[in-house]
Amino acid sequence: MEKYIGIYFKKIFQVIEKNMNKKLEKYDLTNTQAFILIYLYKNIVNQREIEKKFNLTNPTVNGILNRLESKEFIIRSISAKDARNKEIHLTERSVSLINEMRKEAKQLEKEMIAGISKEELNIFNDVLKKIFNNLQGGIK
């Protein structure tokens, strides 16, 4: 058994990311790109809002959006509210994929919690929230 809890978080994250990237290969998407598309499914936003939501830098988000646009998953258009901003919209191609991607994410979630009781899961969620809140104060 590992001595430090952070090691488990890192290992779990790596396994989840690897599994999701493998499932998303058939759509020519990465895990991060898929999360952004799912976020865009529910929100019409600009690039800066994506940067804040996913805690990513401007160049990183710009690169992700450029790739999504070149693959015809998104369209950027001038905002009706503020001509200085571009809103990001999903294309029909990405909307049709979102339900499939959500099903695969739900399946992965089922695999993660297999054999864990509802009570254990509730306790685990509470502990994760506490860990996150403890660490959130140290993140700038």
* CA 101, 102, 103, 106 torsion-angle sign: positive
Burial class (CB in 10 A: 0-12, 13-18, 19+), 26: exposed
CA dist list (Å): 113 to 37, 54, 125: 25, 24, 11
Distance CA 122, CA 140 (A): 29
First to last CA, the chain: 32
For residue 2, what pLDDT is reported?
57
To the nearest whole number, what is the mean pLDDT of the chain?
88
**pLDDT tens sequence across 24-83:** 899 999 988 998 999 999 888 889 999 999 989 999 999 999 999 999 999 998 878 877
Q: Which residues contact 44 (CB under 8 A, 6 or more apart)?
A: 87, 88, 89
Architecture of domain 5-115 in CATH? Answer: Orthogonal Bundle (1.10)
Distance CA 71, CA 14 (A): 26
Q: What is the DSSP string of 10-69?
A: HHHHHHHHHHHHHHHGGGT--HHHHHHHHHHHH--EEHHHHHHHHT--HHHHHHHHHHHH
Band (138; pLDDT cuts 50, 70, 90):
low
Domain ranges of the chain: 5-115
For residue 139, what pLDDT is reported?
55
Band (140; pLDDT cuts 50, 70, 90):
very low
Check: pTM over 0.85? Answer yes or no: no
**What is the number of other CB atoms lying within 10 angstroms of the CB of residue 97?**
21
For residue 103, what pLDDT is reported?
84
Q: What is the mean predicted confidence (pLDDT) over 19-26? A: 88
For residue 59, what pLDDT is reported?
94
